[in-house]
Amino acid sequence: MYVNNGLIMEKRIHFERLVIAAYRLPFKIVKTKGKNKVVQNSGGLVSAVLSLSESLKNDENQLHNNKIVWTGIADNQSSSVFFKKFRNDHFELFPVDLPPKLNELFYGGFCNDLIWPLFHYFTTYAVFDDVYFEAYKEANQKFCDEIVKITRPGDFIWVHDYQLLLLPGMIREKMPGVSIGFFLHIPFPSYELFRLLPRGWRECIIKGMLGADLLGFHTNDYTQHFLKSVRRTTGFECQQNVILTRNQIVKADAFPIGIDYSKFHDACLCMPVICEKKKIHKNLPGQKLIFSVDRLDYTKGLLLRLKGYETFLEKYPEWHSKVVFNMVVVPSRDHIEKYRTLKKEIESTVGRINGKYSSLSWRPVIYQYKSLSFDELISLYGASDVGLITPLRDGMNLVAKEYIACQNDNKGVLILSEMAGAASELSEAILINPVDNNEMSEAIFNALEMNQPEKTTRLGRMQKRISEYNVFTWAFDFMDQAWEVKRIQKQMSVRFINKTILSGIISAYKNACNRIFLLDYDGTLVSFEKYPEMATIDVNTLNILRKLLDNTKNQIAIISGRDRGFLEQQFDDMPVTLVAEHGYFIRKPGKSWESTVHSGEKWKDAVMPILKEYVNRCNGTFIEEKTGSLAWHYRNADVDFAQLRLHELRDDLAEVIRHKTNFEILEGNKVLEIKSGKYDKGQAALNLLSNGHFDFILAAGDDKTDEFLFKAVPESAYTIRVGMSPSLAKYNVSAYPVLLKLLKNLSAG
């Protein structure tokens, strides 16, 4: 339990230790007066984790009193040597050493010349270079090597940001059971942008990210973009926010990062800040103050902000001499051409505005290119009347939240770009589109003119929200959910066929004298192919089935949705029972096909035209006509578009079959099937089981239509769902080759 902002939090961290992997270490060494001083690095993540560690220090039960472990890169070689031995009350640091050339290609190249611009929608700035990508992989591998060295059982590894997208997958390969979380601090872009990455790179990135158990993004939009990229890149099924990968479930969700609200709010009440605020007001008599602070970056909309302010000055001359815009730009990457140019443009725009509007006693823009101390920053937040934050894209933007936290006297108004992640939580700010000059100038005018009751109401709502969902809630929430995902994975792994379960099945098999295998075909005995006719059975699988059939105690039934002709082709020379079209037809060994249903085919006249319409409306889909059913396959269509059409098709079909009680709609793996007559795989199985006293039943299938089978067979049966989906089956296996291995095992017994 810990106390935060007067609220008693019942949160508990279940992990032994927190191991952070982030590009930078949280500290650097600064020489002051000839002495080395350890100083905190700037940036949202460092502030967040430092605040978290301080709150944990006060609770001896949290994290079992262990320090937070942090791996990252030090500023230079001598810092790295120093930090290797560095321990303080909160942290143990493990510097990762990258040769400067590698770091340049990895960080300067792949991270900042490709991922940063691309994920912030600046596609024209993106540089695609194979050498960068190789360096990115190598650097992520070096992080992985360090993490593997320091991780202990019970640890939670929390990987941060776009520099380490491959790391979760790399760690997972080395330590399959460990808990891994990943948080992306920048936007995850729409698939249209993500797909600009070469296919191999994007597959590698998605695979890397999916090594985590839990993936966090600032907003639901970013989460949805990521999920779409997963579906399009891997084909994995996503059930809401849960991704069913080949052998694990992974969760993706929105965790909007918060700030240490009390730290900012309370700092405004400290004497040095109160004095500094007074000084600012004294220097600007009778003038309102607009304030902004950002790193020098093209994503921050710095030039557009100046232009918006210029438009405001143009439109509202009555405000001349009564308002000042203090624009602080924090130095960053200004050795790079793009940033140098941006800096020059800012300086010339500031010069132009000041040249045009200044008087002897008034300068409309006060531009500062420097970092501020914490107290200076808080004083400016608190002393200003308007916070003007207008990025073109921003993952979250903590400055917006900090600004709100510092409004103790309810004076400030926040103008915020709707392109910042923070906009979804700070809806009471004046939200603007940063490219719209007029909107920005109107917003500045409205903010300056806003009456006090409205300011108080808006601020009150935002302060309540960000004080409650603060940095602690964010971190605890993330770790809590990571723990929960692990719990669900463990629960599911109990259902996975492990050695113990396997030996149970083998011994039941050995003790039985009348056994039956009820096996689905597609996805269960063969893999999924682009077209159904391509999914033919291979010789190894046939040999496994033959070997099982060599034992006279065994019977096999293939229970499939396929038509008779196809099944005959695959199993013609084998003494297996074939069930075609979900039970419409049955052929026992050595006998001919029998039909269990007599519904005629007239009904198809009403359904076929609708399906044809949907083939036209959704590229890549096709119809399969069987005797008793019509199937609309969408495996080759755009996943999301097909889902949309699927909903519509279901509605249209429901309308047609509304008064016909005999119809059923079945949903299989990327297929919607309409059949007439009450029959399904379950009834077919019961029919077969009624002909013998079986003391060993094994039923396996991979899709929803096989659930009828699992439901129908007796409790004593071994039921196995192939794939990760939740099921009525007792067990899951990750993929069909695992089932084949199991059958092979039994055939040897």
Identity at 724, one-letter amino acid code: M
Answer for which of 190, 234, 245, 371 binds ligand GDG (CB under 6 A) is 371
Provide the minimum distance between the beta carbon of 436 and ligand GDG in the complex, in angstroms, as a whole number: 21
Residues with Cβ < 8 Å from 743, sequence gap 6 or more? Answer: 517, 544, 545, 548
Rounded distance between C-alpha atoms, residue 299 and residue 430, angstroms: 20
Q: Which is nearer to ligand GDG, 397 or 489 (CB)?
A: 397
User: By CB under 6 A, what part of segment 300-359 binds ligand GDG?
Assistant: 330
Q: How many Cβ atoms are within 10 Å of 317's Cβ, its own excluded? A: 9
Answer for which of 118, 293, 296, 684 binds ligand GDG (CB under 6 A) is 293
Provide the minimum distance between the beta carbon of 330 and ligand GDG in the complex, in angstroms, as a whole number: 4
Rounded distance between C-alpha atoms, residue 126 and residue 198, angstroms: 12
Beta strands in 626-740 (DSSP E): 629-633, 663-668, 671-676, 696-701, 718-722, 731-733
User: Does residue 321 contact residue 359 with C-beta atoms inside 8 Å?
Assistant: yes
The bridge status of strand 629-633 relative to strand 622-625 is antiparallel
Active site residue 520: yes
Q: Which is nearer to ligand GDG, 259 or 548 (CB)?
A: 259
Marked catalytic residue, from 155, 520, 522, 703: 520
Q: How many Cβ atoms are within 10 Å of 347's Cβ, its own excluded? A: 13
Q: Which is nearer to ligand GDG, 185 or 207 (CB)?
A: 185
DSSP state of 107: I
Rule CB under 6 A: say whether 728 interacts with ligand GDG.
no
Rounded distance between C-alpha atoms, residue 486 and residue 733, angstroms: 18
Q: Which is nearer to ligand GDG, 395 or 723 (CB)?
A: 395
User: By CB under 6 A, what part of segment 216-245 binds ligand GDG?
Assistant: none
Inter-residue long-range contacts of 725-730, CB under 8 Å, 24+ positions, other chains counted: 725/237, 725/239, 725/244, 729/699, 729/700, 729/701, 730/495
Rule CB under 6 A: say whether 735 interacts with ligand GDG.
no
User: By CB under 6 A, what part of segment 378-417 binds ligand GDG?
Assistant: 394-399, 402
Rule CB under 6 A: say whether 47 interacts with ligand GDG.
yes
User: By CB under 6 A, what part of segment 175-204 binds ligand GDG?
Assistant: 185-186
Rounded distance between C-alpha atoms, residue 472 and residue 184, angstroms: 17
Rule CB under 6 A: say whether 137 interacts with ligand GDG.
no
Provide the minimum distance between the beta carbon of 46 and ligand GDG in the complex, in angstroms, as a whole number: 8
Q: Which is nearer to ligand GDG, 222 or 694 (CB)?
A: 222
Alpha carbon 119 to its chain centroid, in Å, reads 14
Rule CB under 6 A: say whether 5 interacts with ligand GDG.
no
Residues with Cβ < 8 Å from 359, sequence gap 6 or more? Answer: 320, 321
Provide the minimum distance between the beta carbon of 171 and ligand GDG in the complex, in angstroms, as a whole number: 21
Main-chain dihedrals φ then ψ at residue 112, nearest 5 degrees: -100, -15
Rule CB under 6 A: say whether 215 interacts with ligand GDG.
no
Provide the minimum distance between the beta carbon of 108 and ligand GDG in the complex, in angstroms, as a whole number: 17
Provide the minimum distance between the beta carbon of 120 and ligand GDG in the complex, in angstroms, as a whole number: 8
User: By CB under 6 A, what part of segment 266-285 binds ligand GDG?
Assistant: none
Q: How many Cβ atoms are within 10 Å of 244's Cβ, its own excluded? A: 17
Rule CB under 6 A: say whether 257 interacts with ligand GDG.
yes
User: Does residue 182 contact residue 130 with C-beta atoms inside 8 Å?
Assistant: no
If binding means CB under 6 A, how many residues of this protein chain bind ligand GDG?
21
Provide the minimum distance between the beta carbon of 404 and ligand GDG in the complex, in angstroms, as a whole number: 12
Binding interface with ligand GDG (CB under 6 A): 42-44, 47, 185-186, 257, 293, 295, 330, 371-372, 374, 377, 394-399, 402
Q: Which residues are catalytic?
A: 520
